[in-house]
Structure 1
Amino acid sequence: MEKNEIAQQCKFVKEEDISCGKWIKMCTVTYTDPCGKERVWEAVKRTTKVSVDSPDAVVAIPILKKVLHFDCVVLIKQYRPPVKAYCIEFPAGLLDPNEEIEKCAERELLEETGYTGIVKHISPVTSLDAGLGNTTAKLITVEIDGDLPENQNPKARPDDGEFIEVLNVPMDDLLQKLNDYAATGVVIDSRVYTYAISLEQTKEMMRAQCNS
């Protein structure tokens, strides 16, 4: 074996709680690195986690479609105490016990935006911030028929303590609109911004193909 060759993989050793609240707890995770050295990592974990195999939450990516209108991404704006600022995000929420993924996405969409939609795609379980904690979510693409009567004048039904503004942003203008919001001090959720970048790159590739 070469001198710099990795001898083994990282291995979990133990986890110890430091403090615990209603929704989250702080703990230390001890593990061994590839060289066999024991290390300690501070982590934040959800107390509501059902199992390691199921997601904690769903994140809806709602696309509003309406005849003779540009397709829009439905976003929400709300104050987030940890960052001391308003944030623009996708509708999202924790999974209730024994709740189906699709039903959770539809429920959160209705509660936070007032819209009803149809689930089009469900992602695998994804990590929201693996360097900080173990929170996981599934990303759910939802299509909203804006011509349906129930979607004409949607009214959000947020939980007590939630104050949400619904934003319908044309997909073609999403990246620029997010940059405009950011310039005013609003924090953009990284998932939303990544989605906007992907849309912009797709448009550029399509233009390049048309011009070739």
Structure 2
Amino acid sequence: MQNSDQCKFVKEEDTATGKWIKLSKITYTDPSGKERIWEAVKRTTKLPGDNPDAVVAIPILRRTLHYDCIVLLKQYRPPVKAYSIEFPAGLLDPNETAETCAQRELKEETGYTGIVKHVSPATSLDPGLGNTTAQLVTVEVDGDLPENQNPKAQLGNFKLLLEGEFIEVLNVPIDDILQKLNDYAAAGVIIDSRVYTYAISMEQTKKMMKGQLNS
């Protein structure tokens, strides 16, 4: 039950619609009861009900006698007018599970196959802008398997995946991920917030483990 001092949704109206997204005007009341307006961007492909829209795969590549790597994508993103470093990701198909979607997108975008290790609940991607949600799926890739030895000839080179979508696959050592991302950023490449947050977490974990060893 909502308290009287909480914000409340009143109504929503579509003001413009394109092929993939639409602009909506949301009316709500603030804690004082005053009516306010908020503009939001929505996906036209959103699945019915409370289903998440997308899956973000976090692929960890493990190989004998190699450093563990994070598999990332570099691609041009017109909205930011620059190349971006991101995790493999994609929209869920109807009746598709997050696990299946993550493995499908990973295969389509990188050529790797992997085993799902963890699935998050639906998380909001940008709640101040829209209602898009995604589940984060950690996938472990066994780089010693024959199918993962050389999954894509385009590794390190751009590949046309979809019409107008060019992707470069990057294998970045986990121990060096924060420095590598900083180098990309210094060169004008945009870093996806989820990727940078992961890198910061890895760096903090490394420092904590080093501190424990030295104590």
| Range of TM-score over shorter length | over 0.9
Give the CA deviation at 1:52. 4.0
The answer for the alignment partner of 1:43 in structure 2 is 40
CA distance in 2, matches of 1:160, 1:149: 30
Letter in 2 for 1:24: I
Partner residue in 1 for 2:112: 115
Q: Which residue of 2 aligns with 1:104?
A: 101
- The alignment partner of 1:163 has SS state of strand
Partner of 2:177: 174
Aligned to 1:23: 20
Give TM-score scaled by structure 2 length.
0.94
Alpha-carbon distance in structure 2 between the residues aligned to 1:81 and 1:139: 24
Aligned to 1:210: 213
Structure 2 residue aligned with 1:33: 30
CA shift for structure 1 position 192: 0.1
Residues in 2 aligned to 1:106 and 1:7: alpha-carbon distance in whole angstroms: 45
- Tell me the amino acid that sits aligned with residue 142 of structure 1: V
- SS of alignment partner, residue 147 of structure 2: helix
Aligned pair count reads 207
State the SS of the aligned residue for 2:10. strand
Give the Å deviation of 1:53. Answer: 1.2
**Which letter does structure 2 place at the counterpart of 1:56?**
D
Question: Could you tell me which residue of structure 2 aligns to residue 3 of structure 1?
Answer: none
- Alignment of 1:150 onto 2:147: yes
Matching residue's letter, 2:76: Y
Partner of 1:197: 200
Structure-2 separation of matches of 1:61 and 1:101: 12
Alignment pair present for 1:129 and 2:120 = no
Partners of 2:147 and 2:161 in 1: CA distance: 17
> Could you tell me how far apart the structure 2 residues matched to 1:161 and 1:102 are?
27
Give the corresponding residue for 1:58.
55
User: 1:185 and 2:188 equivalent?
Assistant: yes
Deviation for aligned residue 1:201 = 0.4
Amino acid at match of 2:46: K
Q: Which residue of 2 aligns with 1:163?
A: 166
The aligned counterpart of 1:139 is 136
The residue aligned with 2:157 is none
Partner Cα distance (2:164, 2:111) in 1: 17
- Report the Cα offset of residue 99 of structure 1: 1.3
Q: Identity of counterpart residues, as a percentage?
A: 77
The CA RMSD measured in Å over matched residues stands at 1.2
Q: Distance in 1 between matches of 2:164 and 2:112?
A: 20
Secondary structure at 2:11's aligned position in 1?
strand
Shift of 1:51: 2.5
Q: Distance in 1 between matches of 2:212 and 2:127?
A: 37
Q: Which amino acid aligns with 1:106?
A: Q
Q: CA offset at residue 8 of structure 1?
A: 1.4
SS at match of 1:49: coil
Q: Within 2, Cα distance between the matches of 1:100 and 1:210? A: 41
